[in-house]
Chains A and B, each alone.
Chain A
Amino acid sequence: MIEEEDIDLLLNDLFDLYGYDFTRYSRASLKRRIIRLCSLDKFPSFAELRYRVRNDPSYLKRFVEEVTVNVTEMFRDPAFYKSLREEVLPVLGTKPFIRVWHAGCSTGEEVYSMAILLKEANLLRRSLLYATDLNPSVLEKVRKGIFPLALMKQYSESYISSGGTADFSSYYTAQYGQAKFDSELSEKIIISTHNLVSDSSFNEFDLILCRNVLIYFDKELQDRVLKLFDASLGTLGYLALGTKETLKFSAVQHKFKQLNREKIWKKII
């Protein structure tokens, strides 16, 4: 059994020693991840995990990797991508230059999906996709643009449901069980670590996607991050959240208007 107070102590250590602030993460999920890590790395007790975190800075990397949830997919929720294709990209296309920010992009499947949409709308050449996450290890995978070949069948189906009409396999080269996505796509992706808890706005964007990241934060932190997005969006910019996340009840909700059933909002003031 791990007590709440133990978790508090560990979170204080992480902040004091390394500057990572997990105190406003959803506690139920965080606790489950910490218990999972204890058992994965065979710590006989919670105290031993805490000792390791405090005294072995190299273990911090593993802790952050395992405690955050990195699960992602290409073209996850095809209806969402369809709506981007049909309602958002035509409007963005009227701009001379398009900046997109994927906040909490994990290993990049979402970023490459977006790059494909932009390419198919003939907008990729004048777009830049900023891919950020607090976890440097996942960003390494974004840089490579290599995903397991075995998943391509499922991704191809989702791509088609999202309104894609090209041959999905034309976007990658298959080798040794891996699919390497075209450099034409990766060239447009700018990769950087960025912690939504502690880092500030770094540019002005036309579209911000932050999907399935806010669910790991408590209400107060969600609100803070939504303000950061608000401050990072140009006028009439778009904000896209995960299917079960919402702007409703947040401090910035009056500045946004939801487009349709999908979780996409347009900034109106």
Chain B
Amino acid sequence: MEENHLNRRCELLLIGGSAGSLEVLFRLLPLLRADLPFPVALVLHRRNSGDSTLSELLASKTLNPTQEVEDKEPVTPGTIYLAPADYHLLIEHNRTFSLDYSEKINFSRPSIDVTFESAAEVYGPGLVAILLSGANEDGTSGLTAVKQAGGMAVAQNPDTAQMPFMPHYAITHLPIDHVFDTIEMAAFINSLT
């Protein structure tokens, strides 16, 4: 499975997760190098939509600046963005974020599919998308769109996931480029340029 990802430029890294994904991020973020040369956007299903402390908690785990997205904010390299609770996160062609308060999709807002599909259109082959632990089907259509646009699709190894269903569903429905545990994922992200 080792491919030539080293000579591919990453213009945006997306990470989608549901139940069991926070634990992964808490272990993954401290392993990432400071000054990541690309922007990172996290799309997480959250149980408590009122909770605004998650971005601060995540920020405490990394040297990269970390913040919740504000509407129409430019997507800036080196920053880790968190999709705000209760909004879908979209990306415009001029590489700014847009928020959308439309219907939940697969019971989720933010929906991982929505962000992955929207970013695939804008970033095409420059997009790397990772799907973490979770108990539903969100993310698989999104990863499919990422692949179709020439981007790279990665899933957490279901054996290492607290909730294996979500990454497993993706692996069985599309040609995933890589299946990683947390340590491998960190090494992979650090090798992206």
Contacts and interface: CB of A to CB of B under 8 A. Distances in A.
A232 B11 CA distance: 42
Contacts, number: 58
Nearest to B114: A32
Nearest to B103: A71
Contact of B84 (A26, A71, A214, A244): A244
Given A27-B92, A28-B92, A244-B87, A69 B71 contact: no
Interface range for B: 20 to 34
Consensus secondary structure, chain A interface: helix
A188 interface: no
Contacts of A245: 71
A215 interface: yes
Interface in B52-109: 69-72, 84, 87-88, 90-93, 96, 98-103
Secondary structure class of chain B's binding surface, majority of residues = loop
Contacts of B93: 4, 27-28
B71 A29 contact: no
Contacts of A79: 50
Contacts of B88: 29
A90 to B, nearest CB: 25
Interface of B: 50, 69-72, 84, 87-88, 90-93, 96, 98-103, 114, 118, 121
Given A26-B90, A219-B96, A246-B70, 5 more contacts: A28-B118, A32-B100, A216-B100, A218-B92, A244-B71
Q: Which 7 A-B pairs have the closest CB atoms?
A: A28-B90, A26-B98, A69-B102, A29-B100, A215-B99, A215-B71, A212-B101
Interface of A: 4, 26-29, 32-33, 69, 71, 79, 212, 214-216, 218-219, 222, 242-246
